[in-house]
Amino acid sequence: MISIWLIPAIILIVLVTATLKKIPSYEVFVEGSKEGIQIAISLLPFLLGMMVSIAIFQASGAMGAILKVFDPLMSMIGVPEEILPLAFIRPISGTAALSMTTELIRTFGPESFIGQLASVMQGSTDTTLYIITVYFGAVGIKRMGDALKVGLLADLVGIIASIIIVLILFS
Amino acid sequence: MVNLIWALLAVIGIIYAAFNGTMEEVNKAIFETLDEAIMITLSLAGVLIFWLGLMKIAEEAGLLKGLAKIFRPVVKRIFPDIPENHPALGYILSNMTANMFGLGNAATPMGLKAMKELKNLSGSDHASRSMITLLAINTSSLTLIPTTVIAIRMKYGAVDPTSIVSATILATLISTCAALLIDRYFYYRRKRAFRI
């Protein structure tokens, strides 16, 4: 698979170019990587705080209850209700979404409509809340402007698009 | 807005648990999550340290500038606020490229570094226009090859594990275009509101 070759190839290109240009690569590496430690440490409070809130919400069962409310609506439009929890959780928690996708593929089979839909949904959207937390947390942005609205609306479009595309291609 | 979401998730959860007898699960989840957050940060630290080191070499060797040069016409349109030859451009491009190939691990450090450069550019703790655009691109996912999903499908015996790739690319394309349009819409709305 291409991604197995990609990372070693990037390392190779960078190091060969640097060596040819007589750049002290190891020293530059250490200098640049120090920034990584700082970013990771400044990230921790943002990430930890957000994760705890999401965990409380999930573990209490409140998330499941909210999802139940939407069940009738989904069956009305003809989308299998099993997919809804995934659509709802995908922007909030990456690990929860991944385990849900795995569960859906396991239960219904990878070639089933739900299995295909879960796969496409998982692949075409990303965890908005996590990305905003991490990206803005790392540089200390306190006023995030419209970022959350933009991210969540884009997720909605992505989810609707995956439903329509999978309906057209696989059913 | 994030303050509200953060507080609401926890408050609703605790109140719900109080009425449904799931307080024990909540307690357990809180302390498990603390460990988990430390673990995630630690593994993220490893990735950050490695890639930021490597990218620093790439920057000094002029590779990031080269990358920025090739894609300048496109990126200039998406990020009109970033001055030409600014280092942020190189990092944004590495972030987008890594995302496209499904290298999430490599994409995050580039994205964070790009954010840092954008912050230097704006010098305030408010999200700038370019920062919101960068987030929009990242949250809509640029993945062209969803390696994780393919791996899961393989594990559960898919006849054709990669059958979803074309559908995923199409959906990603639509959601990324939508993200950019929505981002533009909010930007012009902000601009109008500011003038009035």
DSSP string, B9-60: HHHHHHHHHHHHT-HHHHHHHHHHHHHHHHHHHHHHHHHHHHHHHHHHHHHH
In this structure, what are the phi and psi dihedrals at residue B22, rounded to the nearest 5 degrees? Answer: -110, 20
Chain A CB within 8 Å of residue B193 CB: no
- Whether the CB-CB separation of A35 and B113 falls below 8 Å is answered with yes
Higher-pLDDT residue of B156, A79: B156
Task: Please give the average per-residue pLDDT across B78-95, as a whole number.
Answer: 90
Helices (H), B71-160: 72-78, 87-100, 104-122, 129-139, 147-155
Q: What is the pLDDT of residue A3?
A: 59
Query: So what's the ipTM on this one?
Result: 0.83
- Whether the CB-CB separation of A123 and A169 falls below 8 Å is answered with no
The Cα A16–Cα A18 span in angstroms is 5
With 80 as the cut, is the pLDDT of residue A78 above it? no
Sign of the dihedral defined by the CA atoms of residues B26, A87, A154, B89, in that order: positive
Q: What is the DSSP letter of B157?
A: T
For residue B33, give every residue at least 6 positions away whose Cβ sits within 8 Å of its Cβ, in sequence order, or none. A48, A51, A52, A54, A55
Q: What is the pLDDT of residue A125?
A: 85
- Whether the CB-CB separation of A92 and A78 falls below 8 Å is answered with no
pLDDT bracket for residue B196 (50, 70, 90) = low
Among A42, A54, A141, A156, which would you mutate to test the B interface (most chain B Cβ atoms within 10 Å of its Cβ)? Answer: A141
In this structure, what are the phi and psi dihedrals at residue B81, rounded to the nearest 5 degrees? Answer: -85, -15
Tell the burial category of B134 from Cβ atoms under 10 Å away from its Cβ (0-12, 13-18, 19+). buried
Please name the member of A36, A55, A110 whose beta carbon is closest to the beta carbon of B52: A36
- Quick: pLDDT tens for A4-39: 787 788 899 999 999 999 999 999 999 999 988 888
pLDDT bracket for residue A59 (50, 70, 90) = very high
Higher-pLDDT residue of A13, A85: A13
With 60 as the cut, is the pLDDT of residue B160 above it? yes
- Quick: pLDDT tens for B95-141: 998 888 777 778 889 999 999 999 999 988 899 999 999 999 998 87
The Cα A129–Cα A147 span in angstroms is 10
Chain A CB within 8 Å of residue B26 CB: yes
| Residue for token pair 């909540």 | B26
Q: What percent of chain B has pLDDT over 90?
A: 51
- Quick: pLDDT tens for A133-147: 889 988 888 888 889
pLDDT bracket for residue B79 (50, 70, 90) = very high
Do B140 and A120 lie within an 8 Å CB cutoff?
A: no
Residue B146 structure tokens:
């969803």
With 70 as the cut, is the pLDDT of residue A160 above it? yes
Tell the burial category of A76 from Cβ atoms under 10 Å away from its Cβ (0-12, 13-18, 19+). exposed
* Cα angle A88, B178, A64; round to 5: 5
Most confident of A58-72, B89-103, B163-177: B163-177
For chain A, give the mean pLDDT.
Answer: 87
Do A6 and B103 lie within an 8 Å CB cutoff?
A: yes
Tell the burial category of B77 from Cβ atoms under 10 Å away from its Cβ (0-12, 13-18, 19+). exposed
Q: What is the pLDDT of residue A40?
A: 87
Tell the burial category of A81 from Cβ atoms under 10 Å away from its Cβ (0-12, 13-18, 19+). middle
The Cα A81–Cα A95 span in angstroms is 21
For chain B, give the mean pLDDT.
Answer: 89
Residue B181 structure tokens:
């349009």
Higher-pLDDT residue of B170, A4: B170
Q: Considering only CB atoms, which chain B residues are within 8 Å of A28? A: 53, 56-57, 60
Do B58 and A14 lie within an 8 Å CB cutoff?
A: yes
Most confident of A7-11, B20-24, B143-147: B20-24
Q: What is the pLDDT of residue A15?
A: 96
Residue A138 structure tokens:
């790392």
With 80 as the cut, is the pLDDT of residue A79 above it? no
Q: What is the pLDDT of residue B82?
A: 92
Ordered by start, the domain boundaries in chain B are: 1-61, 62-195
Higher-pLDDT residue of A18, A92: A18
| Residue for token pair 């590495």 | B94
Q: What is the pLDDT of residue A2?
A: 56
Taking only residues 111 to 150 of chain A, the set having a beta carbon closer than 8 angstroms to any beta carbon of chain B reads 111, 115-116, 119-129, 131-136, 138-150
Q: Considering only CB atoms, which chain B residues are within 8 Å of A49? A: 6
Q: What percent of chain A has pLDDT over 90?
A: 35
| Residue for token pair 């840092």 | B116
Give whole-number Cα distances, A109 to A78, A96, A116, B155, B156, in Å. 20, 19, 9, 11, 7
pLDDT bracket for residue B158 (50, 70, 90) = confident
Chain B CB within 8 Å of residue A48 CB: yes
Task: Please give the average per-residue pLDDT across A90-118, as a whole number.
Answer: 88
Chain A CB within 8 Å of residue B88 CB: no
| Residue for token pair 């809340």 | A129
